[in-house]
Amino acid sequence: MSKFKAICLLMILTVLLSGCWSKRELNELAIVVGLGIDKLDNEFEITVQVVDPSEISSKQPSTGRSPVITYHSKGKTVFEAIRKMTTVTARKLYFAHLQIVVLGDELAKEGMNEPLDLISRDHEFRNDFDVIVAHDATADEVLNVLTPIEKVPANKMLNSLKTSEKTWGTTQSIKIDELINTLNDKEKSVVMSAIEIQGDKNIGEEQTNVKRSKSSTLLKYAGLAVFKEDKLIGLLTEEESRSLGFLRDKIENTIEIIACPKGGTLSTEITHSKTKIKGKFEKGVPKINVLIDIDQNVGEVECHIDLTKEKSIKYVSKKTEELIKKRIEETIHTVQQNYRVDIFGFGEVLHRTNPKEWKKIKKDWLTVFQELPVKVEVHVNTQGTGTMENSLVNKPKGE
């Protein structure tokens, strides 16, 4: 057989092998950007947020329709519920562009292992979307809220999650694969950002919500939710969430407010933070040392302090050190006493330091964790004072 014939045959064969079975035109797809999972009377309730592309497009004039549509369906399993949804959707649901998965409050309290199985198993789902938990609301309610500026609420949720993680530090993004890994990991517990609805839930569904300059209903991140295994057990406050951020070395940028010597306050902007956690066993007793290196700039001065003097800068650094150290120690204490789960990953550190000793305490690690001595050391370096030196407050009046 000539080479040409062979090539022709191969080409024909490939066509037969695959065909156009997976072909789908863009205008035959319903692009799912948000997925909500709730539990209601032993049934899963699934909510999907689908974009209406022609409403999102900047070119065509808006026809007044909502930019996203949410569909609901119930089923004994998540898979069943999703397939059932085809009876109400106009097009095939396409999950590859899923941005965010919202778990309902009730579901999270009862355990999230079951519904997570499908979304990590199905090939149509990618593994790069974030998972968050709804606080005091169902996932359905969260996904129904229309958001201003970002026409797609799922994008809004993802963006504020990331922006707030970067510049404030009370949220932490967790991707599905990381979540699954942590759930399998006995040494570390899951924390997940919690979102809440501010304002009237019913108005949030209306388009009027985005037609006014001051939206009456907004989605807001409330802090970090703590899980014991796969069950939600509590919510960290903002302060505690940020301390956790420091401990997990996730803080990129945040601010601190300290008191001035002669009254008033001074805010500093933390520009860089590096956390090192070291573990050791002393005669079989585990110990943790936390060392945090922080660079900061003076951000806002509302008191009398002469920043041109080195003494003042040292004061600022020292005060910040004390503040952060105190808060972190308090957070560790609260978690050890109230939640009794290792969300900091201390177990992992100890395991890495001394696997032999770790095996001995591994079984009752959570009991050990409650009494674990943790030494926190914070080094703060104040680098700059911004574009001006002394505050306007400093100037004597009448001059």
Partner 1 sequence: MSISKIADTSQNNDQLYSSLSQNLKMIKNTLGNSNDLVIREITIGKAEQFTLAIIYVDGLSDKISISNAVIDKLMLDIDDNNDAEIEKIIRYLRDSCLTVGDVNDIFHFSALYNSILNGNTVILVDESSTGIVTSTQGAKDRAVMEPSTESVIRGPRESFTETLRTNTALIRRKIKSPNLWIKSRIIGEVTKTEVAVMYLNGIANEKIVAEILSRLDRINIDGILESGYIEDFIQDSKTTIFPTVYNSERPDVIAGEILDGKIAILVDGTPFVLIVPALFTSFLQSAEDYYQHWMISSLVRLLRFFGISLALVAPSLYVAITTFHQEMLPTPMLISIASQREGVPFPAVVEALIMEVAFEVLREAGLRMPRTIGPAVSIVGTLVIGQAAVEAGIVSAVMVIIVALTAICSFLFPAYGLSNTVRALRFPLMIVSAIVGLFGLMFGLMIIILHLCSLRTFGVPYLSPFGPLILQDQKDALVLFPRRALLTRPRLISQKNTVRGQKYFNTKKRNQTKV
- Residue 52 or 196 having the CB closest to partner 1: 52
Q: What is the spatial distance between Cα 315 and Cα 306, in angstroms, rounded to a whole number?
A: 11
Q: What is the spatial distance between Cα 36 and Cα 132, in angstroms, rounded to a whole number?
A: 10
Q: Which two tokens stand for residue 6?
A: 């062979």
- Residue 124 or 330 having the CB closest to partner 1: 124
- Percent of the chain as helix, strand, coil, to the nearest 5: 40, 30, 30
State the minimum distance, in angstroms, from the CB of residue 50 to partner 1: 11
State the minimum distance, in angstroms, from the CB of residue 118 to partner 1: 18
Q: What is the spatial distance between Cα 4 and Cα 335, in angstroms, rounded to a whole number?
A: 72
- Residue 18 or 167 having the CB closest to partner 1: 18
State the minimum distance, in angstroms, from the CB of residue 149 to partner 1: 14
- Residue 91 or 318 having the CB closest to partner 1: 91
Whose tokens are 């050890």? That residue is: 336
Q: Which two tokens stand for residue 303?
A: 């008191």
State the minimum distance, in angstroms, from the CB of residue 30 to partner 1: 10
- Residue 63 or 337 having the CB closest to partner 1: 63
Helix/strand/coil for 249: coil
Closest CA to 139 of 154, 159, 125: 154
State the minimum distance, in angstroms, from the CB of residue 87 to partner 1: 23
- Residue 15 or 388 having the CB closest to partner 1: 15
Helix/strand/coil for 111: coil
Report whether 266 contacts 258 (CB < 8 A): yes
The residues of the shown chain that bind partner 1, judged by CB under 8 A, are: 7, 11, 14-15, 18-20, 22-27, 29, 31, 33, 51, 53-57, 59-60, 94, 96-97, 99, 126, 152, 155
State the minimum distance, in angstroms, from the CB of residue 183 to partner 1: 25
Q: What is the spatial distance between Cα 137 and Cα 194, in angstroms, rounded to a whole number?
A: 10
